[in-house]
Amino acid sequence: MFQYLNLPTGWSLFFLVLSTTLLVLWFFFLRGPKSIHNDASLPPLPSPDPALTASLLSKLRGLPEDWELFDDPLIREKALTSMVEKNGKTFLMYCQGDVKNALGASPVIATADPKLVKEIFLKKTHTLRRPRRMLLAQHLPGLDGVLFQDGPKWERHSRTLKPVFHAKNFSQFTNEIRREAAKHVELWSSINEKSPLSVHHMGGGQISTLSSLRELGTSVALHVGYGIDPSCEEGAALRVALDGYDEKKRFRAAGTNICLLIHALFLVWMDAKRIRNVVAKIVKRIQMEEKEEKVEEKEKKEEEGQGKRREDEQQQQQQEVTATPPAAPPAPPAAPAAPVVKPLSWIKQMVHAKFSVQELSNEVGHLHHAHKAIAYMTSFALYELGKHPEWQKNIRNEFSTVLLNGRPPEKTDLIHLKICTSVWKETLRMHPISLGVIREVGADITTKLNGGEEEVTIPKGTMISVLLYALHMDKDSWTSPELYNPQRWMDSGNQSAQSTFSDRGIREAFVPFLDGKRQCEGRFLAELEFIIFMWSILKEHDVVVPNDYIFRIGPDFFPDAATPIPIKLKKRIKVQ
């Protein structure tokens, strides 16, 4: 094998020993003690029926050279819509590079057919089971989180984390989100050409939106998700550990060189371990605090009981000594105290559900990863607003009409903020966080190919790439889909599209958060964070994107801007 890898024998032996040691370390230390729960994933589906697959493949169009357009940075994601136009809404996609590495196959069956997508997302048989490719991520250090799980394991994780995602819970943090956003906006507005380079400043007075918004996102996640003040020592340590974990960057830097890949795996393992060490301390602190709280509560109850007994005894003694006066009217019952709603946090939820430190730290890292989506979407929105200043004005006017006396937005205001939420939805439509997601169909699907009469069967077990970007650009569902036009949401004849909730509208081929049982858990939190940030920035500033900036994305299905999106803030002159 080592001859095949072209390595000199000394090195071969070294790497053999190193990789075996790493494997042993990983098995005994990183995976941690086995959970006491039934943490099985669903059994994998059998391979798809070869005859049905052969018949399907013979009917689908698509050529390897179609992918060349995706490799062209000037065209990139638009290549996916070209493929749909050329080959039909369900076709064979011969992906290459990072996309092929992520999907693990080429060609794959890809679809941007709204009807088929709806069936895949909404029917539990197709959506509850994770594709084998996604399940693999569970075995990489630090990646075993809810997105990559299924079966009883997913149910337990999802059930435990869900209450934190409930609007009633996270709305309590509106002030914290606003404070963190205000800090960032203040910092941004202080940046000028002479400011030193930093995570916020990319030179020339230009603000580096994504890296700065990611920092903001981590602060919000620490407050809202983990219940930790980002400015305390614990918060700072967790931030450093979370920001240090980027498995994609590590593996991408290693390329295909086996030695570098082993090295990258080791580094990822170290990064995950750093998160685990911090989380272990937090868990210990929480357990101690809760133990103390319990003791205090018990003591308080005992004291109250003793006090009551003493009072009763005194009353009895008084009654015996004094002549019985006429009975006083009974005191009106005290008004019930308003229940104190304690905010929930993912960490506390998992501690109460008896997750091991290993499970807990994996999930902490994983949720931080998922939360990053909001930073990407907000930076895309700032780019679009910079290019379409009329929408900045529209949002500002709406804020001053709906939020009287300049008060900040709350979750309950969202329903009235149609313009701001339409900007959000239009940004999600044009810049979905992932150009495509994968699913494995759990039962044979019979569908008509590309609107024609010919029926085909997609056999059980087939992996399908659902092309969100191409779906959001579907010419049969959208008028001029290539144009950024938030007005389309307000003018839509469809009630659910007009709603301010961005998870609505599957009929319009709009699924930025997917749909059904495995849709995004964080969508409502993301919406609130976005609105608060827009309010924080636009009330006193204009956002400007330099004229010479050309927006392009990198060659990945999770698209980052190929060069960071720069913006400048212009302080608005207050009208007296």
Binding region for ligand HEM (CB under 6 A): 146-147, 158, 367, 370-371, 373-374, 377, 428, 433-434, 437, 512-514, 518, 520-522, 525-526
Instruction: Go through 31-60 and write b for each residue having 16 or more CB atoms within 10 A of its CB, e for each that does not.
Output: beeeeeeebebbeebeebbeebbeebeeeb
Which CB sits closer to ligand HEM, 279 or 428? 428
Least distance to ligand HEM, CB of residue 438, Å? 7
**Are residues 461 and 48 in contact, defined by beta-carbon separation less than 8 angstroms?**
yes
**Are residues 555 and 70 in contact, defined by beta-carbon separation less than 8 angstroms?**
yes
| Chain centre to alpha carbon of residue 552 | 22
Please, which contacts does 399-408 make with residues 24 or more away whose CB atoms are closer than 8 Å?
399/535, 399/538, 399/539, 403/535, 406/539, 408/174, 408/178, 408/532, 408/535, 408/536
- Residue facing ligand HEM at closest CB distance: 522
Phi and psi torsions of 106, nearest 5°: -160, 125
Least distance to ligand HEM, CB of residue 6, Å? 37
Peptide bond into 131 cis (omega under 30): no
Which CB sits closer to ligand HEM, 66 or 529? 529
Which CB sits closer to ligand HEM, 94 or 530? 530
Least distance to ligand HEM, CB of residue 374, Å? 5
Which CB sits closer to ligand HEM, 128 or 544? 128
Tally the residues of the chain. Answer: 576
- Alpha carbon distance 314, 553 (integer Å): 79
Provide the token pair at 410: 């709350």
Which CB sits closer to ligand HEM, 265 or 367? 367
Q: How far apart are the first and last CA of the chain?
A: 77
Least distance to ligand HEM, CB of residue 344, Å? 14
Which CB sits closer to ligand HEM, 368 or 568? 368
Alpha helical stretches, state H, 501-565: 523-538
Indicate the burial class of 234 (C-beta count within 10 angstroms; 0-12, 13-18, 19 or more).
Answer: middle
Which CB sits closer to ligand HEM, 383 or 513? 513
Helix axes 418-430, 523-538, angle to 10 degrees: 110
Which CB sits closer to ligand HEM, 79 or 222? 222
Least distance to ligand HEM, CB of residue 428, Å? 6
Least distance to ligand HEM, CB of residue 280, Å? 21
Instruction: Go through 482-494 and write b for each residue having 16 or more CB atoms within 10 A of its CB, e for each that does not.
Output: eebbbebbeeeee
Q: What are the residues whose beta carbons fall under 8 Å from the beta carbon of 176, sequence distance 6 or more?
A: 220, 223, 224
Which CB sits closer to ligand HEM, 265 or 377? 377
